[in-house]
Structure 1
Amino acid sequence: MGLLMMAGFASGALNAVAGGGAFITFPALLFAGVPPVSANASSTVALFPGQAASSWAYRRDIGAASEVNLPQFAALSLIGGLVGALLLLVTPNALFADFVPWLLLFATSVFAIGHYAPGMVARLRLGGRGVLVVQFLISIYGGYFGGGIGFLMLAALTLFGLRDIHAMNGLRILLAMLMNGAAVAAFAISGAVSWPETLAMAVAAVAGGYAGALGAKRIDPKRLKTGVVAIGVALTVYFFTKGA
């Protein structure tokens, strides 16, 4: 349990600063012997309290993002997260295990492009309706798996015209919390959560999420993002070779 709590704290802090916390919690649960679908559901539940703590720490920055219609974004995140969670629950463990390396590859690639080649994203533009459609699709993916959603949301907000990185970071965490909140409800009702491991990680994730949010303006996110990409590459190679 100690290692799972360490993973929860690190994931909560990482989500608050740079995103990518699922790269730690999901494989940690797999290595602890939790089946793939349950590990993914448990990872989402474990990270949810930490995201709530980080969102509270960013509340003033979120309130300053006047360009965004927050109720619309919130509603789409909740609905999309629920749709993604329901899709996960009807996916058999064996099939999801086959998806794991491909999902990690996609999430790592998205995260790496955002870190190393942001110019590829900056050439695009999104209008009001476009950014809402993109947010809904991101929310479905977030409810189903979630790796890399932080960058996907930051990219969408950038294309919409936001430039205040602290407001964007706060919105990223809040919307991820909402889509995961819908997923958490579905996972809890369905019985897909492995509660002993999840509760241990969740307690640590709260501390990590709040500490990470408070320290986010002092830590160089580039180094953390490089670390996230390295972890993602290593895990992708591992699961392609060994399987989930």
Structure 2
Amino acid sequence: MLSALTMNWHYLWLVAASFIAGVMNAMAGGGSFVAFPAMLGVGVPPIQANATNTVALWPGQLTSLAALRGDVRRDLMPVVALASITGGIAGAMVLLHTKQVTFMHLIPWLLLTGAVLFGISGPVSKWLRNRSKKSELEHHHDARISPIPLFLGLLPICFYVGYFGAGGGFLIMTVLALFGIEEMHTLNAMKVVAACLSNLCAIFTFIAKGAILWHYCLVAMVFAAAGGYIGARYTRRMNPAVLRAVVVVIGVAMAVYFFWKEA
């Protein structure tokens, strides 16, 4: 009886966490900091939890891509797509060949890394926006970018997205900016393209290897979508700095919890 009550509690937490993750992703990002530990909480093994969580949260990326498709730089699509596909598949394959106990030891470090990246993304995003405005005032246009260096810069980040992914979008934007893309909307659109493709390739790999627990995945997907809809309606009413701080605190708290659990 006690075991059944505990399982029901964990299942309810998965529902609530998926909804919260959807709201977080719509407002600021970082939903994986809540959804991934919830998957572990219902007893899903670490690698399957990461794979299942990737599938559950991916539709939100697809809807974002649909909204931003007008800002995509088509001349960069071949190299971004190649890096995303190669990195996403490689990251997923390495994840699936990682031992459960090894990945469990990596979880707090991955969560902490994601939280730190998310935290520093605020000042860097502000710098990118200022750079974008300056470019518009000076009537600069995005210069032609050499494809091979850009591919080599994006490949390890897309690998990380396929392997775990938290904070990967910020890294993608940073690399694109360093290569000379100055318009903020373009940076955001290309970030979503790379993350969406990397995760999609990872998803196909996870499905082919039977790493998805579909009964948990579908529940998480439905409630994450509902949370995303609610979050999108209220996102403009919230202070972005406060939202970012909340996400960072949640990420660090989860990392501390798993460090303590592994101690």
Counterpart of 1:30 in structure 2 is: 40
- Structure 2 residue runs without a partner (length 5+): 1-10, 130-144
User: Hey, what does 2:91 align to over in structure 1?
Assistant: 84
Query: Residue by residue, what CA displacement relative to the aligned partner does 1:157-216 show, whole Å, maximum 9, x if unpaired?
Result: 222333433332233223211111011111112111121111111123334445656766
Are the structure 2 counterparts of residues 169 and 47 from structure 1 closer, same or farther at C-alpha, using a change threshold of 3 Å? same
1:107-147 Cα shifts (integer Å, max 9, x gaps): 2222222235679999xxx9654332221111101111111
TM-score scaled by length of structure 1: 0.85
CA distance in 1, matches of 2:193, 2:18: 18
Q: Would you say the 8 A contact 2:115–2:167 is kept in 1?
A: yes
**Would the alpha carbon gap of residues 171 and 220 (structure 1) be closer, same or farther in structure 2, given more than 3 Å must change?**
farther
Q: Is 1:194 paired with 2:213?
A: yes
Contact 1:20 1:150 in 2 (8 A): no
Give identity over the alignment, percent.
42
CA distance in 2, matches of 1:164, 1:212: 26
2:231 aligned with 1:224, yes or no? no
Is the contact made by 1:50 and 1:208 (CA closer than 8 Å) also made in structure 2? no
For the structure 1 residues 27 and 20, does the alpha-carbon distance in structure 2 shift closer, same or farther, using more than 3 Å as the test? same
CA distance in 2, matches of 1:23, 1:204: 16
| Contact 1:104–1:147 (CA under 8 A) maintained in structure 2 | yes
SS in 1 for 2:122: helix
Residue 225 (structure 2) pairs with residue 203 (structure 1): no
The CA deviation at 1:69 is 0.6
Which runs of structure 2 are paired with 1:63-78 in the superposition (5 Å)? Answer: 63-66=70-73, 69-78=76-85
Task: State how far apart, in whole Å, the 2-side matches of 1:180 and 1:238 are.
Answer: 26
Contact 2:58 2:200 in 1 (8 A): yes
Matched, 1:134 2:124: no
How does 1:97-116 map onto structure 2 within 5 Å?
Answer: 97-116=104-123
Query: Compared with structure 1, are the counterparts of its residues 6 and 54 closer, same or farther at alpha carbon in structure 2 (3 Å cutoff)?
Result: farther
Tell me the number of residue pairs that the alignment of Structure 1 and Structure 2 aligns.
Answer: 238
CA distance in 2, matches of 1:193, 1:146: 17
Q: Secondary structure at 1:222's aligned position in 2?
A: helix
Measured in 1, the distance between the counterparts of 2:236 and 2:147 equals 29
The separation in 2 between residues aligned to 1:212 and 1:164, in whole angstroms, is 26
In structure 2, the CA distance between the partners of 1:48 and 1:117, relative to structure 1 (3 Å rule), is closer
User: 8 Å contact 2:128–2:182 — kept in the other structure?
Assistant: no
Aligned partners of 2:239, 2:262: CA distance in 1, in Å? 34
- My pick for the range that moved more, 158-167 or 73-82, is 158-167
Match of 1:243 in 2: 262
Q: Distance in 1 between matches of 2:20 and 2:161?
A: 20
Q: CA deviation at 1:238?
A: 0.5
Change (3 A) 1:119 1:212: closer
**1:8 equivalenced with 2:28 (yes/no):** no
* Long gaps (5+) in structure 1: none
| Equivalent position of 2:28 in the other structure | 18
Q: How far apart in 2 are the matches of 1:93 and 1:223?
A: 35
Partner of 1:48: 58
Please tell me whether the aligned partners of residues 49 and 205 of structure 1 are also in contact (alpha carbons under 8 angstroms).
Answer: no
Q: Distance in 1 between matches of 2:91 and 2:205?
A: 10
